[in-house]
């Protein structure tokens, strides 16, 4: 998409992200599982956004009486998203870093790194995604884990254009317009919002998706092995019909 860069998504969605996506997955079960995996160590979230997961995770990690400050670190390339994170974290329990998910990661070591709900696919080239695995591996301590939550691409992959209604209200309509390229495993689109008071607002997005097998190959290339794969953070078993996956990779 012409003019689209690493900051575009955050700038376009920061003001509606919590309203549209807070309930996109179960926060309680996700935070509980991440807390268990983290143990007493430090945690890194890639693409922290508005802190939907990082803030409750930091609070949970500190609920045993130990200090939670500095234990959860999050990186995001969008200043708009980090501004919303600051609003959602008045106590400052999360340490936020502005940077991308490859060259902007803070120093480790971390016990756990995670990237939630398709955010890895915001890296729009295979080489970028592979470089992300490498950057994360370099910041994990021995036995550290990298958790990825993402959708399983359709088989066969979607191809062509699509237009659908996302929201329909008396004074507001949001259309979803998307284009899918099966050969390049990419998709891009716009949420086009029409309001009686505010006119038209465009909210663009673009991704490059990968299959679980391709992610396994990226992990293997940097010395990480697949420890678990579930359908969800509730540990629902993953099978051939699963539309989503939670993959946990571990350094030896």
Q: What's the distance, Cα to Cα, between the start and end of the chain in Å? A: 39
* In a shared domain, residues 56 and 172: no
Run of H or E residues at 58:
helix 54-61
Instruction: Name 206's bridge partners.
Output: 188
- Identify the band that residue 2 occupies on the pLDDT scale cut at 50, 70 and 90: confident
Chain-centre distance of CA 75, in angstroms? 11
* Residue 68 binned pLDDT confidence (cut-offs 50, 70, 90): low
- In this structure, are 175 and 81 located in the same domain? no
Contact 165, 175 (CB under 8 A): yes
What residue ranges in the chain does DSSP mark as E strands? 43-46, 72-76, 94-98, 110-115, 140-151, 160-169, 172-181, 186-195, 199-208, 225-230, 244-250
In whole angstroms, what is the distance from residue 151 CA to residue 212 CA?
Answer: 9
Give the integer Cα–Cα distance in Å for 98 and 104. Answer: 7
Answer yes or no: do 90 and 39 share one domain.
yes
Q: Are residues 112 and 180 in the same domain?
A: no
Distances 74 to 47, 79, 106, 120, 125 between C-alpha atoms, Å: 7, 13, 9, 14, 22
| SS3 call for 119 | helix
Work out how many domains the chain is built from and give that number.
2
Q: Are residues 76 and 179 in the same domain?
A: no
3-state secondary structure of 176: strand
**Same-domain check for residues 198 and 214:** no
Cis peptide before 109 (omega within 30 of 0): yes
Helix (H, G, I), strand (E, B) or coil at 219: helix
pLDDT at 24: 92
8 Å CB contact between 77 and 7: yes
Q: What value does the mean pLDDT take over residues 2-10?
A: 91
| Domain end among 192, 207, 222 | 207
Domain assignment of residue 3, yes or no: no
pLDDT per residue as tens digits for the range 78-106? 999 999 999 999 999 999 999 999 999 99
Question: What is the per-residue pLDDT across 111-164, written as a single tens digit (0 to 9) for each?
Answer: 999 999 999 999 999 999 999 999 999 999 999 999 999 999 999 999 999 999
Read off the CATH number of the domain in which 183 is found.
2.20.25.570
What pLDDT sits at residue 197? 87
Answer whether residue 144 is part of any domain: yes
CATH number of the CATH domain containing 51: 3.40.50.150
| Structural domain of 142 | 8-153+210-250
């Amino acid at each position: 998409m012409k003019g689209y860069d690493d900051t575009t998504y955050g700038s376009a969605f920061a003001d509606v992200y919590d309203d549209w996506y807070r309930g996109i997955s179960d926060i309680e079960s996700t935070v509980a599982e991440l807390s268990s995996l983290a143990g007493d160590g430090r945690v890194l979230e890639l693409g922290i956004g508005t802190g939907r997961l990082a803030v409750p995770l930091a609070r949970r990690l500190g609920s045993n009486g130990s200090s939670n400050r500095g234990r959860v670190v999050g990186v995001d390339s969008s200043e708009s998203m980090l501004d919303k994170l600051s609003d959602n974290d008045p106590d400052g329990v999360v340490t936020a870093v502005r940077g991308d998910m490859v060259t902007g990661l803070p120093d480790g070591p971390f016990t756990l790194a995670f990237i939630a709900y398709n955010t890895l696919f915001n890296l729009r080239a295979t080489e970028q995604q592979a470089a992300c695995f490498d950057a994360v591996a370099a910041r994990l301590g021995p036995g550290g884990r990298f958790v990825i939550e993402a959708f399983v691409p359709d088989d066969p992959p979607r191809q062509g254009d699509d237009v659908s209604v996302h929201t329909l209200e008396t004074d507001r309509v949001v259309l979803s317009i998307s284009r899918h390229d099966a050969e390049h495993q990419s998709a891009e689109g716009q949420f086009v919002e029409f309001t009686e008071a505010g006119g038209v607002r465009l909210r663009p997005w673009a991704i490059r998706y990968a299959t679980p097998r391709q992610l396994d190959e990226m992990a293997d290339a940097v010395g990480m092995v697949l420890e678990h794969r579930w359908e969800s953070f509730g540990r629902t078993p993953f099978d051939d019909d699963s539309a989503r996956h939670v993959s946990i990779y571990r350094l030896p």
